[in-house]
Amino acid sequence: MAFSKASVRDATVKGRRVLVRVDFNVPLKDGEVVDDTRIRAALPTLELLRERGAALVLASHLGRPGGEVKPELSLAPVGRRLSELLGVPVTQAPKVIGAEVDLAAGCLGPGEVLLLENTRFEPGETKNDPMLAGSLASLAQVYVNDAFGAAHRAHASTEGVARHLPGYAGLLLEREVTELSKVVEDPARPLVVVLGGAKVSDKVGVIDRFLEVADQILIGGAMCFSFFKAQGKEIGNSLYDEESVVAAREALAKAAASDCALTLPVDLVLGREFSAETERQELDGIEVPDGWMGLDVGPRTGALYAEAVAGAGTVLWNGPMGAFEMEPFAAGTRAVADAVAAAPGKTVVGGGDSVAAMVQFGLEEKVDWLSTGGGASLELLEGKKLPGVEALIDAKPTDREES
Ligand code: ADP
Ligand code: MG
């Protein structure tokens, strides 16, 4: 299914002000941007709009200030980094809306860039307050949403604003939706899905969907302990939660009746506690003794999963295989990451921590598509409609033929 929303490429923007919702929710440390991946991911859309003579008003959230001004969550460091990347000045608005902001937006010439303050400084943002949406809309004549990572939220800057202005999809958002949709709608087979990370209950929707469309699901990370618990195995002090055990039990029942194989680890790496310095042992099996917790999949599991990935027509990986941030428990994640990087099939990696793992291992260039949106990518893969996408105007059939 082709992307059905109007693209920024088809918008008339010359001499107009365009409000662009970007996802500049980047990690900061000591007032500096630590990882500018998400800023760089927005550049193609921003550059296209500037080349076409638009004046840009940029909006993004950063962290969770909870509707009040938190100076440590100001977008100022992001504005500085963006200015370096674009090679032009970026004016920093003192607030999200208000008279000063109106004035700054009104002064913008073609190609100039104004960055609004953190949209979540406004309590109306997450409540999708129509007043805030209206004020944001009054800053521009055209709206572009390129914030894929926030598209699963119906907030004022992602959804409400598109009720007031014609909304177009940014290049990143369009590519994200297209790449992720292909995985579930028309994958080269076999479709192999590797799922890990912390909570099954967050990912139960994706497991459900993939039991219907994938050929094999491989489970790792803390998630596997909810499955083992559901099977009545000993899991020691491994991480699990009751809600996830219920979800895992349902997934196991559904898998038994489906054509999709659901594969669990066959060996583990254990630690005494969640720490890099903890006593460590490899367990050739999965029954965790008292006083220990599973912190990684073992080498046999790593090799098994790597082999499945190597034989896949399409691989989707979401969630690390272990506590990879700690070197003694990184090998399982590393094995999957290496296999994904070397896989001959189409490869897609989603999830903040899995993408971080690819970057940590220096393998990010070797993946066909690295999704910038954690929650949004999961919801899209589940088959849910994303409010930030739905609110955009539909593509005219003629738009598609021209582009
Ligand atoms: P993603 O962001 O890729 O979707 P998640 O956020 O679901 O992944 O999970 C990532 C986290 O899961 C990591 O911080 C990692 O340390 C943790 N994790 C993985 N395996 C285990 C485990 N066996 N025990 C505890 N934590 C784990
Ligand atoms: Mg995460």
61-115 tens-digit pLDDT: 999 999 999 999 999 999 999 999 999 999 999 999 999 999 999 999 999 999 9
Does residue 374's CB lie within 6 angstroms of at least one atom of ligand 1?
A: yes
Q: Which residue CA neighbors atom 4 of ligand 1 most closely?
A: 351
Ligand 1 atom index nearest CA of 295: 23
CATH of the domain spanning 179-381: 3.40.50.1260
Q: Residue 402: what pLDDT?
A: 45
Q: Which residue CA neighbors atom 10 of ligand 1 most closely?
A: 197
399 pLDDT above the threshold of 70: no
Name the amino acid, one letter, at 135: S
Q: Residue 403: what pLDDT?
A: 42
Q: What angle do CA 46, 168, 38 make, to 5 degrees?
A: 40
Does residue 45's CB lie within 6 angstroms of at least one atom of ligand 1?
A: no
Q: Residue 147: what pLDDT?
A: 98
- Nearest ligand to the C-alpha of residue 377? 1
Q: Residue 1: what pLDDT?
A: 57
Kindly give the distance from the C-alpha atom of residue 119 to the centroid of ligand 1, in angstroms, as a whole number. Answer: 29
- Nearest ligand to the C-alpha of residue 350? 1
State the span(s) of the chain assigned CATH 3.40.50.1260: 8-172, 179-381
Q: Residue 400: what pLDDT?
A: 53
Q: How does the average pLDDT of the chain come out, rounded? A: 95
Kindly give the distance from the C-alpha atom of residue 219 to the centroid of ligand 2, in angstroms, as a whole number. Answer: 16
Q: pLDDT tens digits for 211-261?
A: 999 999 999 999 999 999 999 999 999 999 899 999 999 999 999 999 999
Q: pLDDT tens digits for 346-364?
A: 999 998 899 989 988 999 9
Does the domain at residues 8-172 carry the CATH identifier 3.10.20.740?
A: no
Does residue 180's CB lie within 6 angstroms of at least one atom of ligand 1?
A: no
Stretch 120-141: mean pLDDT: 98
Q: Which of 305, 353, 364 to mutate to test the pocket of ligand 1 (most atoms within 8 A of CB)?
A: 353
Say what the pTM is.
0.92
Does residue 322's CB lie within 6 angstroms of at least one atom of ligand 1?
A: yes
Does residue 325's CB lie within 6 angstroms of at least one atom of ligand 1?
A: yes
Residue 219: beta bridge partners? 195
Ligand 1 atom index nearest CA of 274: 25
Please list the active-site residues: 38, 199, 352, 375
Does residue 387's CB lie within 6 angstroms of at least one atom of ligand 1?
A: no
